């Protein structure tokens, strides 16, 4: 049973470009969570999605950030017009049917904005 997959593992963008981060949850998991880890800081919750639904996006910046989890395919975290402050590690986690279950994390995408 493959774990949570994220790609790309490393992404370099120039200021003003768009970044797309992908997450495939573990098989059988229908809940996806995105967290951001800034240098020397803890993981911070961004958004929680189930298939085709955003359940909680209270941790997402109001502008430039969006997330989706379509019926088919991976969850996507999209950052438009990136700025240097967006440089961070973005982790995706998934859990089974119950949202209170243990979350299993992917290896993360390290975004560097030049």
- Per rule CB under 8 A, is residue 65 in the interface with other proteins? no
Shortest reach from residue 81's CB to other proteins, in Å: 26
Contact by Cβ (8 Å): 41, 109? no
- Per rule CB under 8 A, is residue 25 in the interface with other proteins? no
Shortest reach from residue 21's CB to other proteins, in Å: 14
Token digits of residue 75: 């969850």
Q: Residue 40 burial (CB < 10 Å; 0-12/13-18/19+)?
A: exposed
Which stretch, 11-19, 20-28, 44-52, 65-73, contacts other proteins (CB under 8 A)? Answer: 44-52
Among the listed residues 49, 88, 106, 113, the single contact to other proteins using CB under 8 A: 106
Strand, coil or helix: what is 33? strand
Reply yes or no: is the peptide bond before residue 34 cis, omega within 30 of 0.
Answer: no
> Scanning residues 72 to 101, which ones bind other proteins (CB under 8 A)?
91, 95, 99-100
Token digits of residue 54: 């955003």
- Per rule CB under 8 A, is residue 26 in the interface with other proteins? no
Q: Kindly report the backbone phi and psi dihedral angles of residue 13, in degrees, each rounded to the nearest multiple of 5, phi listed first.
A: -135, 155
Residue ranges in contact with other proteins by CB under 8 A: 3-4, 31, 33, 35, 40-45, 48, 56, 59, 91, 95, 99-100, 102-108, 110
């Amino acid at each position: 049973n493959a774990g949570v997959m994220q790609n790309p593992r490393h992404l370099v963008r120039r200021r003003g470009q768009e970044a797309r981060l992908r997450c495939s949850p573990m098989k059988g998991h229908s809940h996806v969570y995105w967290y951001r880890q800034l240098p020397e800081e803890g993981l911070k919750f961004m958004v929680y999605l189930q298939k085709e639904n955003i359940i909680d996006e209270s941790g997402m910046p109001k502008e430039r950030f969006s997330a989706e989890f379509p019926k088919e395919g991976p969850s996507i975290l999209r950052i438009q017009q990136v700025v240097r402050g967006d440089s961070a590690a973005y982790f995706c986690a998934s859990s089974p049917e119950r949202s209170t279950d243990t979350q299993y994390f992917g290896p993360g995408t390290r975004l560097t904005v030049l």
